Homo-oligomer: A and B are copies of this chain.
């Protein structure tokens, strides 16, 4: 089922937000409050951007709460944009290649949710993945398949339409197999510049996985009132999460269903997210 968080803003040590908050993602790996399961102990992943060209990725198959390497890494990795994810498997094996984020070139992708009856539709979905992206698939999750489909549908050129086509295609295939509500998702996606946070499910009606964002800098500062580094953050700095990391209600606003938040320089975008008919878009792999 999973929980994830994303940050974009001034460079911070990852641990500031990953560990040192009231209800951190690490804590959510064993005591989540808003998810389907209270624990998410089937692996962990962190993808982060720094001065290098492509993001760094660390994925571990142990529960996040006990991962000592992660504790060290988070205390030393300084990043301006990162995505972290704790996993609860919906059936596929526990292994690093089934942990998020998935990555291709400068892109990162995390997912909370599932494709209903994935075993029935897996074959049809994978058949639609274009050859250059097919070989990026190393695991067996629905999430990784969604990423490969998004790449196929043009993620690297026009991200939002590609994600909408991916969602549309998953629903189309699901309906062809008589699956009523094929898709359940929140997504965290980044190219190293912008951070997209998407919240959508076929069922809708308040049944979509939770997704929250900080209202403004005051929220982040409230996470650690005595932390000078967080006190220095401003309104350009934003956190998006499956469930709030702490602070008071009112400091976090829920991302509406069928909506994508685009976190970028200047005003952030809030766009309606609507599945589109799928069509492959040729792109430089």
Which of A's residues lie within 8 Å of B, judged by CB? 13, 30, 38-39, 41-42, 48, 50, 52, 56-63, 66, 68-69, 72-73, 75-77, 89, 92-97, 119, 122-123, 126-127, 131, 134-135, 137-140
Which of A95, A96, A131, A140 has the largest count of B CB atoms less than 10 A from its CB? A95
State the Cβ distance, A196 to closest chain B Cβ, in Å.
Answer: 22
Cβ contacts under 8 Å, A61 to chain B: 62
Decide if B42 touches A66 in the complex (CB within 8 Å): yes
- Which residues of B are found within 8 Å of A13, using beta-carbon distances? 52
Q: Find chain B residues with CB under 8 A from A76 CB.
A: 48, 50, 52, 56, 77
Q: Given the complex of chains A and B, what is the CA–CA distance between A13 and B92 in angstroms?
A: 26
**Chain B residues, Cβ within 8 Å of A50:** 76
Min Cβ gap A107→B in Å is 15
With a cutoff of 8 Å between Cβ atoms, the chain B residues found around residue A139 in the complex are 140
A66-B89, A131-B123 known; A96 vs B96 contact (CB < 8 Å): no
Alpha-carbon separation in the docked complex, A56 to B48 (Å): 17
Between A92, A97, A140, the greatest number of chain B beta carbons within 10 A of the residue's beta carbon is seen for A97
A63 and B60 form a contact (CB under 8 A): no
- CB within 8 A of A140: which of B30, B62, B77, B97? B97
Q: Which of A62, A72, A92 has the most chain B CB atoms closer than 10 A to its own CB?
A: A72
Cβ contacts A to B, 16 pairs, < 8 Å = A13-B52, A38-B38, A38-B39, A39-B39, A39-B41, A52-B76, A56-B75, A59-B69, A66-B89, A66-B94, A69-B69, A95-B97, A97-B140, A122-B135, A123-B134, A123-B135
Contact A68 B41 (CB under 8 A): no
A94 and B134: CB pair below 8 A?
Answer: no
Which of A30, A41, A61 has the largest number of chain B CB atoms within 10 A?
A41
CB pair A138–B93 under 8 Å, yes or no, is: yes
Pick the residue among B39, B66, B134 that contacts A122 (CB under 8 A).
B134
Task: Check B140–A137 contact: CB distance below 8 A.
Answer: yes
Tell me how far the C-beta of A112 lies from the nearest C-beta in chain B, rounded to whole angstroms. Answer: 18
Closest B residue, CB atoms, query A134 = B123
Partner of A73, one of B56, B122, B131, B137: B56
Cα of A86 to Cα of B45 in the assembled complex, Å? 24
Contact A92 B138 (CB under 8 A): yes
Residues of B within 8 A of A137 (CB): 140
Whose C-beta in chain B lies nearest to the C-beta of A52? Answer: B76
CA of A89 to CA of B97, assembled, Å: 15
A93→B68 CA distance, assembly (Å): 8
Having A52-B76, A56-B76, A57-B72, one finds 9 other A-B pairs with CB under 8 Å, namely: A39-B39, A41-B41, A42-B63, A52-B75, A56-B75, A57-B69, A60-B69, A76-B77, A92-B138
